[in-house]
Structure formats: structure tokens, C-alpha cells
Amino acid sequence: MKSYICIVEGKVEGGKVVGVKFQSWVKTVADELGLKGWIRNVADGKAEILLQGSAEEYSAFRERLKTEAPVPDLKNITCNVMDYDKEHDHFEARG
């Protein structure tokens, strides 16, 4: 199983990409697509997302992130394939 790490930069209502609405949306989409991993807030108001799943599931997630995410001012999405030492069995919001 491949792991992908993504950093999302942009603004949601009233601030940066740290909102519960965005994390909830990411979890819902990841669950729908069968992806595992987590989302958390990181420095500078960015969100970090770890995804584990197939290349097809990841591609579908990334497309939905670009076109459907509740981030009206999406600045940047940076994603990379990475080795991750743990295989997750579900997707969670870590805050």
C-alpha cells in the first residue's frame, strides 16, 4: 500500500485551513474512497494529510480536493509519495 503526504494551504471561512469543517470533509471523502490515514493542523495554518491506498483512490481524492473542498481560497496542494512505517486501518482527524 502506498502512502501519500499532502500539505494544503488556503483559507476557509474566517481563517486558514484549520477548520473542523475542512477536516470533516476530508475524512468523509477519504472514507468514501476507502483511504486510510489522518489529517491534522500544522504550523502556519496549513493542514497535513496522510493518505494510504491505491494510486487510483489517491488520484480521485486529489481531484476532489482541488474541485470540491470547502476551501474557497485554495492556495496550494503539495503531495508526495513516501515510505511510512505504520499501516493505518481507518482515517481519522487528529486536530
Q: Rounded to two decimals, what is the model's pTM?
A: 0.87
Q: Can you tell me the distance from the alpha carbon of 45 to that of 36, in angstroms, rounded to the nearest whole number?
A: 23
The pLDDT of residue 29 is 97
pLDDT in single tens digits along all 95 residues of the chain? 789 999 998 875 554 555 568 889 999 999 999 999 999 988 777 889 999 999 999 999 999 998 998 877 788 899 999 987 789 999 999 87
Name the helix (H) or strand (E) containing 42. Answer: strand 36-42
Q: Locate the domains of the chain by residue range.
A: 2-83
Annotate the chain with DSSP letters as a single string. Answer: -EEEEEEEEEEETTEETT-HHHHHHHHHHHHHHT-EEEEEEEGGGEEEEEEEE-HHHHHHHHHHHHHHSS-TEEEEEEEEEE--S---SSEEE--
Domain 2-83 is in which class? alpha beta
